[in-house]
Structure 1
Amino acid sequence: MPFTFVRIDHVQLAMPPGQEPRAAAFYRDVLGMEEVPKPEPLASRGGAWFRAGTVVVHLGVERDFQPARKAHPGLVVKGIDELAAALEAAGHEVRWSDELPEVRRFHTDDPFGNRIEIIDAG
């Protein structure tokens, strides 16, 4: 191939209109991501951007929002047990999976019902 993929720049998830404070409460306050200001003209569309190291999540507004129940980002984390405890303490369900015996992981949902997979960095 004459080209090479280098990395994923970001993952885009959807959220309902006007829910930026709930997005910040989850992605910033629970997951510990930094909220990144959106540049204009994108900021006027609503939504929110978050970053933790090289992991970048964008939330865009959809008027007829439907949560992503199957499609999901898979985020690799050091300190998976601590993150699971923080999610549960904040009222978010943690669903551990043993379907891949060599991978320690769980699923949770953001406040809008979007599925998120958390994978142990080992």
Structure 2
Amino acid sequence: MSFVFQSIDHVQLAAPKGSEAIARTFYGEILGFTEVDKPELLKKRGGIWFSFSSYQIHIGIEEPFAPAKKAHPAFLIENLDALKAHLTKSDVSFLVDTDLPGADRIYVHDPFGNRIEILEWIS
């Protein structure tokens, strides 16, 4: 082939209109992602962008809105136990899942109902 996929540029999740402040609290304050300034032409569409490491998460406005219940991003983390303690302290519920051999993982839903997987591989 004459083309090569290099990496994922960003993951987009949907949210209802007017939910940027709620997204800022969850993704920015609770998960600790950094807010990214959207290009001027895209600001009028609403939504908000975040980054961590070399990845971006775009929260786009969708009307009518329906959360992603099965499709989801999966984030690799270091020190899942510390995140679980932080989520508990922040009143964010999560589900521990033991079905993936070799991994500790949880599922959490963002404030809009989108499913998010967070995992740490056990060495």
Q: Normalised by the shorter chain, which TM-score bucket?
A: over 0.9
Structure 1 stretches of 4+ moved >6 Å: none
Q: What CA distance in whole angstroms lies between the structure 1 residues aligned with 2:83 and 2:5?
A: 30
SS in 2 for 1:104: strand
The answer to whether the aligner puts 1:64 opposite 2:64 as a matched pair is yes
Q: Which runs of 5+ in 1 are unaligned?
A: none
Q: What CA distance in whole angstroms lies between the structure 2 residues aligned with 1:88 and 1:41?
A: 38
Q: What CA distance in whole angstroms lies between the structure 1 residues aligned with 2:97 and 2:65?
A: 27
Taking the TM superposition and a 5 Å limit, the aligned residue runs for 1:20-39 are: 20-39=20-39
RMSD: 1.1
**1:95: which partner in 2?**
95
**1:77: which partner in 2?**
77
Sort the Cα spacing of 1:121 and 1:37 in 2 relative to 1 into closer, same or farther, 3 A.
farther
Amino acid at match of 2:103: V
Shift of 1:84: 1.4
Give the paired residue count: 122
Q: What CA distance in whole angstroms lies between the structure 1 residues aligned with 2:21 and 2:112?
A: 12
Q: Deviations over 1:62-107 (max 9, x none)?
A: 1110110100000111121111111122121111111112111110
Q: What CA distance in whole angstroms lies between the structure 1 residues aligned with 2:85 and 2:13?
A: 24
TM-score calculated relative to the size of structure 2:
0.94
Q: What CA distance in whole angstroms lies between the structure 1 residues aligned with 2:79 and 2:34?
A: 18
Whether the 8 Å CA contact 2:17–2:61 is kept in 1: the answer is: yes
Q: Which runs of 5+ in 2 are unaligned?
A: none
Amino acid at match of 1:36: V
